[in-house]
Homo-oligomer: A and B are copies of this chain.
Amino acid sequence: MWTLESIAKHIDGIVKGDKTYQVGSIATLESAHSQQISFLANPKYKKYLVNTKAGAVIVHSEMASAVPNQAIVVDDPYIAYAKTASLLNPVELGQQGIHSRAYVSSDSDIHPTACIGAQVVIESGVVIAEGVVIGPGCVLQQGVKVGKNTRLVANITLCVKVQIGQRVIIHPGVVIGADGFGIANDKGKWIKVPQLGSVIVGNDVEIGANTTIDKGAIENTIIGTGVKLDNQIQIAHNVVIGEHTVIAGCAGIAGSTQIGKYCIIGGGVAISGHLTICDRVQLTGMTMVTKSITTSGSYSSGIPAEPTKQWHRSVVRYRQMDKLADRVKRLEVKNKPLT
């Protein structure tokens, strides 16, 4: 249990009501009970405020008077909620040391404060810093380095020589450092281009479930500090992702493309290879990027759903655009004498 005072201190807020009031967990306005704290960030949920059973609610000052019980007043309730949730739900790190069912090469360097889970494989030359958690079923191949307080949840594969920064979170099924898709056509037959680079992941990165990041062909693939990647993203060899860029699920970035800092890339976006995307570019979901982008701002493509019958007509019309343009041109010629 936490006093509202201690929470307010953590989120830089002001308590309205009983500062010594205690809450133990966080819940929505609708479902919270008296020993829980809630928050109002999205105006859409304002209607639930008046009847909430929450012992306390994190709100903006404009809403403080409408809170039925205690309030903690802050500038940005969503950020404050995120910080409160982190405070009330510290990550459970498991037991320090090496699980009896893990296999750890004698030729590796594991910090005694690290936690190595069951069925883990750690090959030779691996270096694990202090406070690292390697969850069950992970495989760390030769020469992998993992920075302080980084956490691999479970069933993750880090291939040869991959380097992970500090305070990184990697979710299950992620594969980092597999061979890039390098092939060359030798008289009709595809031969493999050996992939000799690696992957360098910066600090404070988060990588979602089943995302894949390939090693570079000669140089490295680089994921900048503070980058946040959702699930099932594919990042090809030699891609560089600038600091604090975020990418939503199912996006794919082809080889050697460089993405700037502070970009926001939507779900299912596909970016061709060998492009440069400048800083602070936003791409809405399913956008198809085939050329470099040199001006920051928001870009989109794709046509949203319509009833299937209309879609069939639309596709037919789309196919006729060329002819339609010709017909308009002919009309313009005919209409010239009229001007």
Contacts and interface: CB of A to CB of B under 8 A. Distances in A.
Interface stretch (A2-10, A108-116, A135-143): A135-143
Contacts of A21: none
Interface stretch (A26-34, A50-58, A64-72): A26-34
A150 interface: no
A182 to B, nearest CB: 8
A304 B324 contact: no
Contacts of A317: 321-322, 325
Contacts of A218: 26-28
Contacts of A300: 305-308, 311-312
A173 B194 contact: no
Work out how many copies of this chain go into the complex: 3
B183 A154 contact: no
Interface of A: 25-28, 31, 76, 78-79, 81-83, 85-86, 89, 92, 99, 101, 103, 117-121, 123, 135-137, 139, 141-142, 153-155, 157, 159, 169, 171-173, 175, 178-179, 181-186, 188-194, 196, 206, 208-210, 212, 214, 218-219, 226, 228, 230-232, 234, 236, 244, 246, 248-250, 252, 254, 262, 267-268, 270, 272, 282-291, 293, 297-309, 311-315, 317-322, 324-325, 327-328, 331-332, 334-335, 338-339
Contact of A155 (B86, B155, B246): B155
Nearest to A252: B250
Given A79-B184, A85-B193, A191-B82, A305 B285 contact: no
